[in-house]
Amino acid sequence: LLVTFFFFPGMEKVIVCSYKKPDALCRLICFPWAGGGTSHFAQWGKLFNSSIEVSSVRLPGRECRAKEPFAKDMTAVVNEITSILLKDLKDKPFAFFGHSFGSYVCYAVAVHLKEKYGVEPIHLFLSGAYAPHSEAFLLMKRSKDAKDEDILEHVQYLGGTPPEFLQNEDIRKHLLLTIREDVRVLQTYSFEKADRKNVFSCDVTCFDGSEEIVHDSEAWLGITSGDTSIYNLPGGHFYLLEPSNEIFLIKHITKCIENAAL
């Protein structure tokens, strides 16, 4: 698959690229976790070599889109991202990386691109998430809305959020609202098609923190006819924020992308 990057009004508010590399061989598009913005993955742009340009997806209701209403459902999320990526499909391969909630958005967008347009990433990287057709995911999806205190406790347990953010009332309230809205979006999406084998032909890699609950990563592996692999890295849910793990991710993703782009 070939893509290029053309600018048009609204693109940069949804697909953020802080370190542009016009001569890159491939684009890596990253999908953040629930409540997350573009700040972490935006910095990946300077960590990858010149062959890979990194972009991060920004959903409505956060950062420069804070005044926009949150997406009403997963279909709206998928349609917005897809409409922008399709304008970008011309002469450069792309890969997807999603963490936690971002894995589901990443997967949903990839399925939509494949089924409706016959387009797919050259590699799909899925991190810290249950397979969408697993029993554990279905139970999580059916769970009722939690109390603010329970969400905050879970956020603190998972890590990844600076304590000072949670101590600031305005930031804490917005974070809680954003997480609730992201979880609600997740609950609106049907993964009924996910039990079909070999939706993709690209290679798929799953990452997880070794100290977190098991995410049955093996259940993801039936989604493609391509090669599949699983890596458990030291740490919990936000293992990817650890510098040593980040170095591993950058090197491994680079190797996978460069091999696929040859």
- 113-146 tens-digit pLDDT: 999 999 999 999 999 988 777 766 665 555 556 7
Return the pLDDT at 72.
93
Query: Is the pLDDT reported for residue 24 higher than 60?
Result: yes
Q: Are 94 and 121 in contact (CB under 8 A)?
A: yes
Quick check: helix, strand or coil at residue 28? strand
Return the pLDDT at 156.
75
Relative to beta strand 15-16, strand 52-57 is antiparallel
| pLDDT band for position 189 (cuts 50, 70, 90) | confident
Query: Is the pLDDT reported for residue 231 higher than 90?
Result: yes
Query: Is the pLDDT reported for residue 205 higher than 80?
Result: yes
Unique residue bearing structure tokens 């591993």: 248
Range 11-40 average pLDDT: 90
Question: Annotated active-site positions, please?
Answer: 100, 237
| pLDDT band for position 5 (cuts 50, 70, 90) | very low
Listed in sequence order, the residues at least 6 apart from 186 whose beta carbon sits closer than 8 Å to its beta carbon are 34, 74, 101, 104, 141
Q: Six-digit token pair at 47?
A: 């960590």
Return the pLDDT at 9.
43
- 127 backbone dihedrals φ, ψ, rounded to 5°: -135, 135
How many whole angstroms separate alpha carbon 230 and alpha carbon 205? 6
What residues are paired with 96 via a beta bridge?
Answer: 29, 124
Burial class, 166, CB count within 10 angstroms (exposed 0-12 / middle 13-18 / buried 19+): middle
Query: Is the pLDDT reported for residue 19 higher than 90?
Result: yes
21-25, 179-183, 229-233: least confident range: 179-183
Longest Cα–Cα distance in the chain: 50
Looking at per-residue pLDDT, the higher value among 36 and 122 belongs to 122
Return the pLDDT at 93.
92
Q: Report the chain's terminal Cα–Cα distance, integer Å.
A: 12
Query: Is the pLDDT reported for residue 158 higher than 90?
Result: no
The number of beta carbons lying within 10 Å of the beta carbon of residue 246 is 17
Q: Within a 13 Å sphere around the CA of 243, how many CA atoms are in the beta-carbon half?
A: 0
pLDDT-above-70 percentage for the chain: 86
The DSSP call for residue 224 is B
| pLDDT band for position 3 (cuts 50, 70, 90) | very low
How confident is the prediction for the chain on average, in pLDDT?
A: 84
Query: Is the pLDDT reported for residue 2 higher than 50?
Result: no
Query: Is the pLDDT reported for residue 77 higher than 90?
Result: yes
Range 94-111 average pLDDT: 94
| pLDDT band for position 8 (cuts 50, 70, 90) | very low
How many whole angstroms separate alpha carbon 165 and alpha carbon 58? 19
How many whole angstroms separate alpha carbon 152 and alpha carbon 149? 5
The domain 15-261 is placed in CATH, from the list 3.40.50.1820, 3.50.50.60, 3.30.70.100, 3.40.50.300, at 3.40.50.1820
Range 242-255 average pLDDT: 97
Return the pLDDT at 1.
37
